[in-house]
Structure 1
Amino acid sequence: MKFVCNKDDILNEILYSMDFTSQRNSLSITSNVYLETSGGRLIIRATDQKLGFSTEIAVETLQAGKTTVFCEKLLNILRSLPDTKIDFSLEDGMLTIKPEEQNIDFKLRTIGADEFPSLENSESSSYFTIPQKSFTDMANQTMFAISEDETRYFLCGLYLERNASGMNMVATDGRRLSIVERTFEEDLPMFPSIIIPPKFFTELKKLSTDEGMLDLAITENILFAKIGNRTFYTTLIKGQYPNYRRVIPETQTYTCTMRIQDMLDALKRVSLLVENKAKRIFLDISESGVLLTSDESEVGEAKEIIACQYEGPDTKVSLNYTYLVNPLKVMEGEYFSISFTEPTRAMTVKPDSNKDYFHIIMPMQPNA
């Protein structure tokens, strides 16, 4: 096996591959990256058995062959080399890495390519296409509401389902819920509802340019994605996702509208004196404004009033302030609204514009 390629070309792909390897055990074959060259192409693969990645780049193939090498060491070596063409050659189980016209010579031990696990694959005919930016935006509006309670593993991912004209994406941890109901101009096939691990979206954001299209394929157990020459996939979370629509209020009596930035700034300041683990603050909503108050503690107390538009009775709400901060950070527009009927029942938070997403927050009990 011998090939020559530009440093930057292979460095970029090995950098992406690193995230798909098993990094806890350097002796595991899944800590290695798979390299195979023939016909002027280099195929690169990586997997940790739950996620997989495959890509290819143009190289000068001098001798076809394949092997695997410890990904982290290869990445560190490539980063250290000067920007030039690099010669790679495999002999006696050692991969030699040598920049052209440089007195630099690295040798890395390899493991035979036959020991590398096979990657999942999907038929090309099963892919459908949607805009990259639209799909990543859906994740941005929901990911923060994913549960971290592994005993309720089915809530530890993003729920994706087909709707009449597009897709819904949902996340909930039982105390809050975020949902995007998006329409797509593209013709989407019917597919089963799935629960996607959050790491898939972490990698998608790294690989996505937010321009152009994203190809997706959904099977019973796997979600595949393609961007250009790069293909990656994740195994799906098994389990029955709860009927989330049961917690969405059909109607609510009162609505309070405020500037997004006003609330974010006030929450940032008032939360400085929040000492309780529940991260509780109080909102006193009245026609004269919204008073934010921290719990009084040994440290002290913080209060701030922001302007609002509201018609209704004075209402005191207790909630985890991060449940407001997280959606407001990614919300579009200048204003948002909180709609409610009673201070202890579900509240709806949404942008004060015609957007396709909203958030449900369960307040705390006053004496909790």
Structure 2
Amino acid sequence: MRFTFNRDAMIKEISIAQEIITNKNAVSILSNILLIAENNSLTIKATDSTVKFTTLIPVDIQEEGRTTIYCDKFMSILSSLPSGDIEFIQEDIGVIIKPISKKVKFQLKSQASDKFPEIGSSENIPFFELPSKEFKEMIRETIFAVLTDDGKKYFMTGVYFVKEGDVLTMVATDGRRLSCDRKKGFSVPDFQPAIIPIKILSCVLKNAPDEGNIQIAVIEKSIFVKFGNIEFSSSLIEGSYPNYQKVIPENLTQSFQVNKADLDEALKRTTIMVDKKVSRIIFKISSGVLKLISPESDIGTADEEIPCRYNGQNISMALNVNYITEPLKVINSENVIFDFNINEAKGDEESNITKAVIMRSEPAGDYIHVIMPMSY
């Protein structure tokens, strides 16, 4: 096998392959990328056995062939070289990498391509199209809320993707908070509800363009995503996802509104004194004022008052600060609303709130974040 390629074009694709590969052991075939040179194109494939990546780039082929090479070292070689054309020559069990513009030569050992895991073709798979910007928005607004340990609730370590009529929904929960994005008006074929691993969603979020459409297929136990010259695929997470609709509270009668920038800045200051093991912050809301308090600890305390739109009896709630700051990053509105119900009196002035609080944009959009308050 022998071909010439553009260094910058190759680096772009190999950097995506590195996102997929997790095994850094040079002996493991899963640390390698598969290269197939034919028809003046180079197909590049990478996998960690669950998530699969395929791309195609134009190259000048002098001799067709296929092999696998250690991805991490190949990327290091490319990164050390200037822009321009580079020769790739396979000889026996190794390859030679030579830039046209420099008198330097790298020799890199290869492994036979027949040892590389099979990455099936997506031909004849029924894809549907979605606007890339909106699909990425759905990922961005949910992916951070998945369960981070796999324990006995492995099915909650992915994002739930479901179609109901013309509504597409993505949901993520760790059992203590829930992020949900519903988008209407999509005329796409029916598909079985899917629990998507976050690794493939992260790859799509990072690499898919904001403009144009993205192609998606959900079949049996797999998901496929295509855009440009890139294709990702992944096994789906098996299991029954919780009934997320039961977690979203209805008929919430109370709310307060606060400026997003004010809340964000106040949280950055008051959480300096928050105990990281607990991550608890107190919201005290009275007419026109939201007071944020970091509970007193061995190192001290902090509090700050910011204006809010509220006209009701004094209330207080304890919330995990991460469950506020993370959705704040994805809410695209000037103001943020917290919806809740009042539960029971606490003394003469303050009130507790009910089991769940909804955090959303103002005006209301497709996205909501449900938070379970903490005890204090």
Query: In structure 1, what is the Cα distance between the partners aligned to 2:40 and 2:238?
Result: 41
Query: In structure 1, what is the Cα distance between the partners aligned to 2:239 and 2:366?
Result: 27
Query: In structure 2, what is the Cα distance between the partners aligned to 1:2 and 1:64?
Result: 7
Aligned to 2:362: 352
Q: 1:298 to 1:101 in 2, by over 3 A?
A: closer
Aligned residues: 365
For 1:84-116, what per-residue CA distance to the aligned partner results, in whole angstroms no more than 9, with x for missing partners? 211111111111111124311111111111111
Aligned to 1:365: 375
User: Structure 2: which amino acid aligns with 1:108?
Assistant: L
Aligned to 2:103: 103
CA RMSD of aligned residues (A): 1.4
Query: In structure 2, what is the Cα distance between the partners aligned to 1:356 and 1:317?
Result: 25
Aligned to 1:192: 192
Aligned to 2:258: 258
Task: Say which SS state the counterpart of residue 324 (structure 2) adopts.
Answer: helix
Which sections of structure 2, spanning at least 5 residues, go unmatched?
343-352
User: Structure 2: which amino acid aligns with 1:138?
Assistant: M
The question of whether the paired residues in 2 share the 8 Å contact of 1:131 and 1:211 is answered with yes
Query: In structure 2, what is the Cα distance between the partners aligned to 1:327 and 1:60?
Result: 47
| TM-aligned CA deviation for residue 122 of structure 1 | 2.7
Aligned to 1:88: 88
Aligned to 1:8: 8
Aligned to 1:28: 28
Alignment of 1:139-218 (within 5 A): 139-151=139-151, 152-185=153-186, 187-218=187-218
The question of whether the paired residues in 2 share the 8 Å contact of 1:280 and 1:320 is answered with yes
For 1:15-38, what per-residue CA distance to the aligned partner results, in whole angstroms no more than 9, with x for missing partners? 211222242422111111111112
The question of whether the paired residues in 1 share the 8 Å contact of 2:288 and 2:311 is answered with no
User: Structure 2: which amino acid aligns with 1:349?
Assistant: M
For 1:49-85, what per-residue CA distance to the aligned partner results, in whole angstroms no more than 9, with x for missing partners? 0111111111111111111111111111111122221
User: Structure 1: which amino acid aligns with 2:26?
Assistant: S
For 1:258-308, what per-residue CA distance to the aligned partner results, in whole angstroms no more than 9, with x for missing partners? 111111111111111112522111111111311111111222211111111
User: Structure 1: which amino acid aligns with 2:322?
Assistant: T
Alignment of 1:262-273 (within 5 A): 262-273=262-273
Aligned to 2:350: none
The question of whether the paired residues in 2 share the 8 Å contact of 1:293 and 1:301 is answered with yes
- Say whether residues 1:75 and 2:85 are aligned partners: no
Q: 1:294 to 1:22 in 2, by over 3 A?
A: closer
Alignment of 1:133-144 (within 5 A): 133-144=133-144
User: Structure 1: which amino acid aligns with 2:307?
Assistant: A
Aligned to 2:48: 48
Taking only the aligned residue pairs, the percentage that are identical comes to 38
Q: 1:5 to 1:274 in 2, by over 3 A?
A: same
TM-score by length of 2: 0.94
Which sections of structure 1, spanning at least 5 residues, go unmatched?
none
Query: In structure 1, what is the Cα distance between the partners aligned to 2:307 and 2:3?
Result: 66
Identify which range, 157-166 or 22-31, moves more after superposition: 22-31
- Say whether residues 1:274 and 2:271 are aligned partners: no
Query: In structure 1, what is the Cα distance between the partners aligned to 2:275 and 2:84?
Result: 55
TM-score by length of 1: 0.96
Task: Say which SS state the counterpart of residue 136 (structure 2) adopts.
Answer: helix
Aligned to 2:320: 320
| TM-aligned CA deviation for residue 205 of structure 1 | 2.1
User: Structure 2: which amino acid aligns with 1:305?
Assistant: E
Alignment of 1:276-295 (within 5 A): 277-295=277-295
Between Structure 1 and Structure 2, the one with more strand by share is 2
Query: In structure 1, what is the Cα distance between the partners aligned to 2:294 and 2:22?
Result: 43
Query: In structure 2, what is the Cα distance between the partners aligned to 1:191 and 1:52?
Result: 21
The question of whether the paired residues in 1 share the 8 Å contact of 2:24 and 2:72 is answered with no
Aligned to 2:228: 228
| TM-aligned CA deviation for residue 229 of structure 1 | 1.2
Q: 1:276 to 1:344 in 2, by over 3 A?
A: farther
